[in-house]
């Protein structure tokens, strides 16, 4: 059976009207990229073969290719893929394809490191979420590493509901336990940390780490990006963030989380 994301048109509309290639340019947004790269590099080995699923405009794939790794990038949205290819000109060790996280066109056990850093944001039912996870694990080599980025419910409440004055608009999608319903028209899907982890209970993987890749930086962006924070203070703040991003008491309000596991 061929699986596809039936909400592809909604996702494309979002990213065709959004400057994805500029997403990490703000200081507050750089936390996510720098922290994710920090953990990617922890698990890389010489000669590692890397797959990035949902590569966007290629910020991670291009950085890793420039480090000398053999990288394959898969992206659903054609507009993002075109930007990726333009940015990757001259990098012969980076291959890119248009593809769907629900139906990867690669053989089993093909990659040492598989990055699923975008798809879990845009899947709106349990079947598709399970499928994306199983496909990511399937193409990873035994003893290889899989990394999954996901969003937290509480960060959306604070970063979107409070900062943007949209709590009333968000209320219709809130459950009594504070979780947010999967509504494709709202683009993003989110999780409680424990619920994301439960999806891996029957998979052939061993849990390694949960990481808050940006912590409170997106919620506090008005203070970080207003130009008043010196570069020295910003680097000190990032140093504190990196030292605490694995702490459970620092994770629930992080906008972006990173679940890291090893294929058995």
Domain boundaries, the chain: 8-263
pTM here is 0.95
Q: Which of 63, 74, 61, 81 is nearest to 16 (CA)?
A: 81
Residue with tokens 């893929």: 81
Query: What's the alpha-carbon Rg for the chain, to the nearest Å?
Result: 18
pLDDT in tens, the chain (264 residues): 467 888 999 888 888 887 777 777 888 999 999 999 999 999 999 999 999 999 999 999 999 999 999 999 999 999 999 999 999 999 999 999 999 999 999 999 999 999 999 999 999 999 999 999 999 999 999 999 999 999 999 999 998 889 888 899 899 999 999 999 999 998 899 999 999 999 999 999 999 999 999 999 988 988 999 888 999 999 999 999 999 999 999 898 999 999 999 999
Q: What is the CATH number of domain 8-263?
A: 3.40.50.150
Positive or negative: CA dihedral 50, 12, 135, 133: positive
Residue 155: partners with Cβ closer than 8 Å, 6 or more residues away: 190, 218, 219, 253, 254, 255, 256
Distance, C-alpha 178 to centroid of its chain: 22
């Amino acid at each position: 059976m061929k699986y596809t994301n039936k909400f592809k048109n909604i996702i494309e509309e979002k990213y065709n009207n959004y400057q994805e290639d500029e997403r990490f340019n703000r200081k507050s947004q750089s936390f996510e990229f720098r922290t994710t790269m920090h953990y990617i590099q922890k698990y890389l080995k010489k000669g590692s073969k890397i797959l990035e699923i949902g590569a966007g405009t290629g910020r991670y794939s291009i950085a890793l290719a420039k480090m000398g790794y053999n990288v394959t990038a898969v992206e659903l949205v054609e507009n993002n893929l075109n930007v990726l290819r333009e940015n990757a000109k001259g990098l012969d060790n980076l291959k890119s394809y248009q593809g769907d996280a629900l139906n990867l066109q690669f053989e089993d056990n093909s990659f040492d490191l598989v990055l699923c850093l975008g798809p879990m944001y845009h899947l709106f039912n349990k079947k598709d979420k399970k499928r994306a996870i199983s496909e990511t694990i399937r193409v990873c080599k035994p003893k290889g590493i899989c990394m999954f980025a996901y969003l937290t419910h509480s960060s959306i409440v604070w970063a979107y509901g409070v900062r943007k004055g949209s709590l009333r608009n968000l209320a219709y999608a809130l459950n009594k336990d504070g979780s947010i319903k999967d509504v494709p028209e709202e683009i993003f899907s989110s999780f409680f940390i424990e619920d994301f982890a439960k999806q891996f209970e029957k998979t052939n993987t061993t849990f390694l780490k949960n990481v808050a890749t940006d912590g409170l930086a997106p919620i506090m962006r008005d203070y970080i990006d207003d130009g008043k924070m010196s570069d020295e203070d910003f680097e000190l703040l990032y140093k504190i963030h990196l030292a605490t991003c694995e702490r459970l008491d620092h994770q629930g309000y992080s906008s972006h989380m990173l679940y890291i596991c090893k294929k058995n």
